[in-house]
Amino acid sequence: MIIFFEKDIDIEDALDKIIYISEINFSHFNFGENYKGIYISEDIDKEFILKNIDGIREMVQVNKPYKFVSREFKKEDTIVHIGNVKIGGEHFETIGGPCSFENEDGFMEIAKNLKEFGVKIVRGGAFKPRTSPYFFQGIGKDALKIMRRITLELDLKLVSEIVSTEDIEVFNEYVDIFQVGARNMQNFELLKKLGKCNKPILLKRGFSATIEEFLLSAEYIVSGGNMNVILCERGIRTFEKSTRNTLDISAVPVIKKLSHLPIIVDPSHASGRFDLVESLALASVSAGCDGIMVEVHNDPENALSDGCQSLKFKRFYNMNKKIHKIRKSLF
Amino acid sequence: MIIFFEKDIDIEDALDKIIYISEINFSHFNFGENYKGIYISEDIDKEFILKNIDGIREMVQVNKPYKFVSREFKKEDTIVHIGNVKIGGEHFETIGGPCSFENEDGFMEIAKNLKEFGVKIVRGGAFKPRTSPYFFQGIGKDALKIMRRITLELDLKLVSEIVSTEDIEVFNEYVDIFQVGARNMQNFELLKKLGKCNKPILLKRGFSATIEEFLLSAEYIVSGGNMNVILCERGIRTFEKSTRNTLDISAVPVIKKLSHLPIIVDPSHASGRFDLVESLALASVSAGCDGIMVEVHNDPENALSDGCQSLKFKRFYNMNKKIHKIRKSLF
Amino acid sequence: MIIFFEKDIDIEDALDKIIYISEINFSHFNFGENYKGIYISEDIDKEFILKNIDGIREMVQVNKPYKFVSREFKKEDTIVHIGNVKIGGEHFETIGGPCSFENEDGFMEIAKNLKEFGVKIVRGGAFKPRTSPYFFQGIGKDALKIMRRITLELDLKLVSEIVSTEDIEVFNEYVDIFQVGARNMQNFELLKKLGKCNKPILLKRGFSATIEEFLLSAEYIVSGGNMNVILCERGIRTFEKSTRNTLDISAVPVIKKLSHLPIIVDPSHASGRFDLVESLALASVSAGCDGIMVEVHNDPENALSDGCQSLKFKRFYNMNKKIHKIRKSLF
Amino acid sequence: MIIFFEKDIDIEDALDKIIYISEINFSHFNFGENYKGIYISEDIDKEFILKNIDGIREMVQVNKPYKFVSREFKKEDTIVHIGNVKIGGEHFETIGGPCSFENEDGFMEIAKNLKEFGVKIVRGGAFKPRTSPYFFQGIGKDALKIMRRITLELDLKLVSEIVSTEDIEVFNEYVDIFQVGARNMQNFELLKKLGKCNKPILLKRGFSATIEEFLLSAEYIVSGGNMNVILCERGIRTFEKSTRNTLDISAVPVIKKLSHLPIIVDPSHASGRFDLVESLALASVSAGCDGIMVEVHNDPENALSDGCQSLKFKRFYNMNKKIHKIRKSLF
């Protein structure tokens, strides 16, 4: 049950009272004037609450296991603001950049090219969660600093993956969007803490997570108070081996129906093959996603990670042009 | 190894000679003047054959396990002709119709509407392979007869699923395209016999078949002599349960690279949900498929099978319009 | 709804009457005096039937989608008789033999050795459903003839895989148990015809079939009148690649709860690795299966198919000894 | 490449020299006198190292992507010591206890009963990683304290799940074995820190992790210096829905061949059904595992988490008796 309060109510007071008169657990949630609300368990005595708590505007039964991220709770699309850049609703963005930050010159070259192609958000890994301890683990904090400097210089937004609660402070200083990778989608301690941040979170679907689990992980963040979650489909694990993962294209329209959060697609990780990225990106756009995130590299053959799925500039440019054609013809 | 012969060679003679001088097994294949050829095992002594057999134009090493269906064997797209209707290359078709034929009036109404929307090929099940023996099994031969009459009357092509080698003759009489369903993709006895037919075969991917296995099943048909195979991606089985199957959208560009055969997509079976069909159809078109096959019904709520994934006319019409917009903008 | 009749009732008469007074479809089933019964759809008017049809002993609601194969229908374990050999209930058998019959001497050697180790049923493929048309397809009818002669000579039972309805007659003549392979588990036309045979059917689980689908395929056979079905778990398709398939060991106790039919396990196909066969066989026995079927070959390194998963005689012997130890300690 | 040094060498000196003369990265590893060694990348110049570094006993090429956990590196089984309790080699343990610690009396009752049945290690969750933020999240540190007190009183070892690097200190104080749950198997930051602990780690396989990824996660811990890793198979995610997960029984013999680390099985989470736990436990024992971990509860119907997969005392007792029978008959 979600209880919405009148705009002018002092919600802390109301919460105290609810705690006092009942003994129920609840999640507090407050996003903007229109969504002052709390979630309490469904088996509450509705009449009892209504009689004892003032200032209740509406009580909404949410049938899905996730509450605040559901369309039942909020009908209109959420638009996530990253400064003056927007994702969601009518706002579409193509995000590009290298898998890992490797060196200043390389990143500058990539960022400049993307900027020229109209890209507003760049990605770059500093802390890399790698399957093997013997793989390149990323350059860490220094990479964040340099990427921050370059993106500020070029007026670009920066997204980078966070892998530990201990790095939240440093990420707060250097990036615009915190990315939670597929392997950490159910790192609930991290999600809980990100719910207390006020920067946007790009949450990737675990490669074996159901859509319901994916939305429940988003709920961990949103129920903590941070509504700025961008979902990202990046392929699921199946028996098929011609692609690194299987892009679950249906996730786009399914999530659009179930949730108000924006959903973008990462065809680079989904396929693991640069020669499939364009087809999958165009498919995802046509399926209705709110953005595309792809790996772009100035020299894929010599990349320290994921080179085989990175686009060169020209391929990126061509893909992006076609994306805009489709969006113009369809939406 | 594939051996191509000169146009004017008597291939039967050449075969006899190969059998005589070696003791190897081979598949004979002969499609049109340009593809007079045979496939023999890769470990053959190339020099020996060249010295002893006349009229060899070229010997091609094919590295993939499938041979005649591979791009290595034939670079240009295969265009399948169904009378004057074409699929493959630049030719795209949207196929529609009910899951099962139920009665004459219903089928006539569906077929007329589709015809009006520009559809040239209609589907309709007569023999239904159903998971349970207690589900509706289709009306059988009588259904084929009526559908044949109606489609001739409306100048439409008919595709229907064949489930047994024993029905080949009757299908030959009544349908334009033989459909092999997902559950029979590895019914090799059926595939072998269809390789001897000269009508086009629409081969659906098994819901747990890898792309390689899918192409090897096509190879069963093609190596038998029937090049007119249309592949159909219809979703694979995964852990995700919000859709009936998971549409493997990547299969479209992957197969385009591996094979010259046309590949269409069935978003109805892939999703099992009529409300997702349009999104998945548009995604598939953008990914580069050669056609879409969807279930359309005049009264989905009362359909005897698969009603929940069938489109009403209006939805079909809207989807088809958008498909053409995308194709116009992209290709 | 399953209607059981009194022992002395003329069931044909009863059926005629049911058809006459209602217009419902039903499956007729009649196995022995104790199971004279028919299955009719669950939404029948029970009172109406009871009032109008004589000789009804009991009407049983079966909630599972499969009816005659369910424990709801029949509580005690079914024991399948292959001549004087039994599988099910307290009767356990280890079945061995080559993947494919290759030549008379080899098969004789294998069969003799297995006989000596106490084996009563041998397997041997004559018609092989192979993923690629270029793989060894089996020797066919001649193989059946020779295997029949040898097994009669050694007083062994023979199981071999049938891949087409057209071969039923020849199988009837030469084998004791018809095997339906994983790829044909949903070849419903074949299943329907096997329901009319009176020889035991060994039905393998499709590598992507759910347990429910597996039991529904068995229902196709049983509802046709042939109760002698032996189920066989042989691994399912997953993302894990260190084994050819993933043995779904849970299927054994799950199926034991859901069905009265015997269930055996094939660890050779499940793993694809001879070095895992013993461990998986012992695990399956401990999980409660009614038999084990493994591939045994006199010369695995040179086998024409599946050599890498075939046991040599000594390994088979050791495994079998341990199987008996476990059965003695547990059951 | 793994370099083993002579027993009496000062390894720090050797490392300094290697760093000085080459510029290669390496993992340092030192377990006991016999395994003084380091791992360095495979493309090292072997001759160069041998010539320049003294005290090298042996250089071993390890072909697997994981190094220190592989059988190539260490042939004999690793025996993990938890005080005087051992797991691995010939030492088998059945671990039991509730999914979550709920209250003192309940835990005491469970622990006492298990103690009486011969159990030496009990499990109990304090911090629960739950799919939904609205599910019971565990009692936290207080639960650890009480469980510590009770297990000390009863002379039992305690295993509990850690979900955050921030809790390492408190776990160090209160538990004997740190459990890493399936959802954190690729929380590499946590694994790295656990590599610096000197308590045993029970590492559960992620429900979609390949065996190779599982061993690589173990490598993260072991290459950090902590050899005391117990692997735990607990089911993988597949399409089959009659069980919560699919127990990958083959993982037991496969891992035994690939690694020297002990491997135990958790049939409770694998199946999600108490009525399957015994069958799967017996199967796992027969497949060669080094231990079983099951959920046991005094009142499963009212458990706050996972009640439906928890055993009552009597079932546990019966299962355990059969486990010992099998081990006696087989090993």
How is B66-123 classified by DSSP, letter by letter? --TTBTTT--SPP-EEETTEEEBTTB-EEEEE-SB---HHHHHHHHHHHHHTT--EEE
Cα of D309 to nearest chain C Cα, Å: 14
- Shared-domain flag, residues B14 and B139: no
Residue at a domain's end among B10, B30, B60: B60
- Is C236–D240 a contact, with Cβ atoms under 8 angstroms apart? yes
pLDDT at residue C21, rounded to an integer = 65
The CATH number of the domain where D146 resides is what?
3.20.20.70
Q: Answer yes or no: is C71 within a domain.
A: no
CA–CA dist B311, D5 (Å, integer) = 72
Q: Which candidate, A135, A131, A142, places its Cα nearest to that of A102?
A: A142
Cα of A87 to nearest chain B Cα, Å: 20
Number of domains in chain A: 2
- Shared-domain flag, residues D55 and D189: no
pLDDT at residue C116, rounded to an integer = 97
CB contact, 8 Å: B130 with chain C? yes
- Is C134–B41 a contact, with Cβ atoms under 8 angstroms apart? yes
Residues of A in contact with D192 (CB under 8 A): 133
- Shared-domain flag, residues C95 and C198: yes
pLDDT confidence band for D60 (50 / 70 / 90): confident
With 60 as the cut, is the pLDDT of residue D25 above it? no
Tens digit of each residue's pLDDT (9 = 90 or more) over B165-212: 999 999 999 999 999 999 999 999 999 999 999 899 999 999 999 999
With 70 as the cut, is the pLDDT of residue C30 above it? no
Residues of C in contact with D233 (CB under 8 A): none
- Shared-domain flag, residues D90 and D215: yes
**How many Cβ atoms sit within 10 Å of the Cβ of residue A192?**
17
Residues of C in contact with B66 (CB under 8 A): 132
Q: Which candidate, A56, A66, A53, A4, places its Cα nearest to that of A31?
A: A4
CB contact, 8 Å: B134 with chain D? no
**How many Cβ atoms sit within 10 Å of the Cβ of residue C42?**
13
Minimal Cβ distance to B133: which of C132, C208, C220: C220
With 80 as the cut, is the pLDDT of residue A178 above it? yes
Query: Do D98 and D303 meet the contact criterion of CB atoms below 8 Å apart?
Result: yes
Minimal Cβ distance to C326: which of D236, D247, D326: D326
Structural domain boundaries, residue B6? 2-60
| Amino acid, res. C313 | F
User: Each residue's pLDDT tens digit in chain B (331 positions)?
Assistant: 778 777 777 777 777 777 666 655 555 555 555 556 677 766 667 787 788 788 888 888 888 999 889 998 889 999 999 999 999 999 999 999 999 999 999 999 999 999 999 999 999 999 988 898 888 888 899 999 999 999 999 999 999 999 999 999 999 999 999 999 999 999 999 999 999 998 999 999 999 999 999 999 999 999 888 999 999 999 999 999 999 999 999 999 999 999 999 999 999 999 999 999 999 999 999 999 999 999 999 999 888 888 789 999 999 999 999 999 999 998 7
CB contact, 8 Å: B242 with chain D? no
pLDDT average, residue stretch A197-203: 95
- Is A41–D134 a contact, with Cβ atoms under 8 angstroms apart? yes
pLDDT at residue B149, rounded to an integer = 98
| Chains with ≥3 CB–CB distances under 8 Å to B | A, C, D
pLDDT at residue B47, rounded to an integer = 81
**How many Cβ atoms sit within 10 Å of the Cβ of residue B44?**
16
Q: Answer yes or no: is B68 within a domain.
A: no
- Shared-domain flag, residues D276 and D131: yes
With 70 as the cut, is the pLDDT of residue D235 above it? yes
CA–CA dist A253, A266 (Å, integer) = 15
Q: Which candidate, B199, B195, B197, B259, places its Cα nearest to that of B233?
A: B259
pLDDT at residue A25, rounded to an integer = 55
Q: Answer yes or no: is C202 within a domain.
A: yes
Higher local confidence (pLDDT), C198 or A221: A221
CB contact, 8 Å: C187 with chain B? yes
pLDDT confidence band for A49 (50 / 70 / 90): confident
Q: Answer yes or no: is C54 within a domain.
A: yes
ipTM of the complex: 0.92
- Shared-domain flag, residues B10 and B91: no
Q: What is the CA angle D45-D47-D48, rounded to 5? A: 65
Sign of CA dihedral C292, C298, C301, C307: negative
- Is C282–D284 a contact, with Cβ atoms under 8 angstroms apart? no
- Shared-domain flag, residues D122 and D17: no
- Shared-domain flag, residues B192 and B98: yes
Residues of D in contact with B239 (CB under 8 A): 237-239
With 90 as the cut, is the pLDDT of residue A32 above it? no
Tens digit of each residue's pLDDT (9 = 90 or more) over A228-248: 999 999 999 999 999 999 999
Nearest residue on chain B to D238, judged by CA atoms?
B239
Query: Do D117 and D316 meet the contact criterion of CB atoms below 8 Å apart?
Result: yes
Tens digit of each residue's pLDDT (9 = 90 or more) over D219-233: 999 988 899 999 999
With 60 as the cut, is the pLDDT of residue C26 above it? no
Q: Answer yes or no: is A41 within a domain.
A: yes
With 70 as the cut, is the pLDDT of residue A41 above it? no
Q: Which candidate, C307, A251, C24, A6, places its Cα nearest to that of B239?
A: A251
Q: Answer yes or no: is D42 within a domain.
A: yes
Tell me if residue B18 falls in helix, strand or coil. Answer: helix
Q: What is the pTM of this model?
A: 0.93
Cα of B211 to nearest chain A Cα, Å: 7
Tens digit of each residue's pLDDT (9 = 90 or more) over C238-280: 999 999 999 999 999 999 999 999 999 999 999 999 999 999 9
Phi-psi region at B190: left, alpha or beta (left = phi > 0; alpha = psi -120 to 50): alpha
Tens digit of each residue's pLDDT (9 = 90 or more) over D157-190: 999 999 999 999 999 999 999 999 999 999 999 9
Nearest residue on chain B to A285, judged by CA atoms?
B283
Cα of B298 to nearest chain C Cα, Å: 26
pLDDT confidence band for A43 (50 / 70 / 90): low
Q: Answer yes or no: is B280 within a domain.
A: yes
- Shared-domain flag, residues D188 and D304: yes
CA–CA dist B120, B157 (Å, integer) = 6
CB contact, 8 Å: B239 with chain D? yes
- Shared-domain flag, residues B16 and B150: no
pLDDT at residue D177, rounded to an integer = 98
Q: Answer yes or no: is D75 within a domain.
A: no
Minimal Cβ distance to C216: which of B132, B206, B216: B132
- Is B287–A280 a contact, with Cβ atoms under 8 angstroms apart? yes
Lowest mean pLDDT segment, chosen from A108-117, A178-187, B3-12, C74-83? B3-12
- Shared-domain flag, residues D283 and D193: yes
- Shared-domain flag, residues C39 and C109: no
B291-295 and B93-97 beta bridge pairing: parallel
Task: Give start and end residues of each alpha helix (H) in D273-312.
Answer: 274-287
Cα of A140 to nearest chain D Cα, Å: 13
pLDDT confidence band for C177 (50 / 70 / 90): very high
